[in-house]
Homo-oligomer: A and B are copies of this chain.
Amino acid sequence: MAVYTEVDDEELIAFLATYELGPLLSCKGIAEGVENSNFFLHTGAGSFILTLYEKRVDENDLPFFLGLMEHLSARGLTCPQPVKNRDGAALGRLAGRPAVIVTFLDGYSVHHPEPTHCAALGEALAQLHLAGEGFTLARSNSLSVAAWRPLFMPSAARADEVEPGLRALIGAELDHLESHWPEGLPQGVIHADLFPDNVFFIGETLSGLIDFYFACTDALAYDLAVCLNAWCFDAGHRFDPARAAALVGAYGRRRPLGAAEIAAFPTLARGAAMRFLLTRFVDGLNVPPGALVKPKDPREYLAKLRFHRAAPADAYGLPT
């Protein structure tokens, strides 16, 4: 959660005048998103989210992210829709930063997902993958298997501070993943970060997906593996087969998994656990003083990785 940038009212009014959104009524910094500054924006035309992109987001990636949200919205997925200014541009500048206004989505994040939530997520994820077809821009996954060892090595010497033996465990797991990582699986647009924070519900109805700033082009089934890691373990990091069956089953009813995806899924699940284990471990070593963000515990994903290494192939509720 973060508001990194304060916006001057006069600058904001001038910025808003380039849109057809009526007068400024209210603008409040909100604790949402860790990469950007986000504001709840109320104007004569309704409610919106104003996002200022901070340094961690590469400006060159913005056309991909914004174009994707537009593409998905146009195909019926409920996600923030970039609002265009009078010149037809979705991307502007405010407070010295790239700035975008998107539609406001009702809904809230679920802290303790039930199987019904996981089923709704599975269906929405498949819908996202299907709606992504025909999107012409591409963005490689900069946090996939090839990136993990270079991410780990500079900090490898400190891994045993998290838990004795972790350095060797990660090294061995990277060896395995690098030699077994599946190729040739169906590719497309993936969200790549569809954690409960980024999925809105109203009651048990999924009301929208947000935060597409890790979206990229990669194996669709990897996205499902990310969700399985993020949604199908309980607060004690124990795997919940009922949630997994609901997630995987609902996904497959909308977009049936192929035989190669099913065969690769256990490896993808291990890889997804490794990806978040590594970024949490490295981010935890590099918390800037005064940071607004409390670092997340890498051991959560170590527990999940251990589960996947030992799990039987039928653990995930995949079709047989």
Q: Which residues of A are at the interface with B, using a C-beta cutoff of 8 A?
A: 1, 3, 8-10, 12, 23-32, 40, 42, 104-112, 200, 202-203, 289-292
Q: What distance in Å separates the Cβ of A67 from its nearest Cβ neighbour in chain B?
A: 26
- In whole angstroms, what is the CA distance A107 to B23 when docked? 11
Return A205 CB to nearest CB of chain B, in Å.
11
A207 to chain B, nearest CB (A): 8
Chain B residues with CB below 8 A from A9, complex form: 108-111
Tell me, rounded to whole Å, the shortest Cβ–Cβ distance linking A111 to chain B: 5
Some 27 contacts from A to B, beta carbons below 8 A apart, are A1-B29, A3-B31, A8-B111, A9-B108, A9-B109, A12-B108, A23-B202, A24-B108, A24-B202, A25-B108, A25-B202, A26-B104, A26-B105, A26-B106, A26-B107, A26-B200, A27-B108, A28-B31, A28-B40, A29-B32, A30-B30, A30-B31, A30-B40, A40-B40, A42-B106, A289-B289, A292-B292
Cα distance A109–B28 when bound, in Å? 10
Q: How far is the CB of A23 from chain B (nearest CB, A)?
A: 7
Shortest beta-carbon distance, A289 to chain B, in Å?
8
Instruction: Compute how far the CA of A95 lies from the CA of B112 in the bound complex, rounded to whole angstroms.
Output: 16
Docked CA distance A282–B297 (Å): 35
Query: Copy number of this protein in the oligomer?
Result: 2
Chain B residues, Cβ within 8 Å of A202: 23-25
A110 to B106, CA, bound (A): 28
Among residues of B, the one whose C-beta sits closest to the C-beta of A42 is B106
Which residues of chain B have C-beta atoms less than 8 A from A3's C-beta?
A: 1, 31
- Tell me the smallest distance from the CB of A7 to a CB of chain B, in Å: 9
Q: Are the C-beta atoms of B30 and A28 separated by less than 8 Å?
A: yes
Whole-angstrom distance between the Cβ of A206 and the nearest chain B Cβ: 14
- In the complex, A98 Cα to B28 Cα: how many Å? 23
Please, which residues of chain B bring their CB within 8 A of the CB of A29? 1, 30-32
Residues of chain B lying within 8 A (CB to CB) of residue A112: 8, 10
Smallest CB gap from A27: residue in B: B108
Q: How many whole Å from A305's CB to the nearest CB in chain B?
A: 26
Alpha-carbon distance A220/B292, docked complex (angstroms): 39
Min CB distance A176 to B, Å, is 36
| Distance of A108 Cα from B16 Cα, bound (Å) | 14
In Å, the complex CA distance between A105 and B105 comes to 20
A25 B106 Cβ-Cβ under 8 A: yes
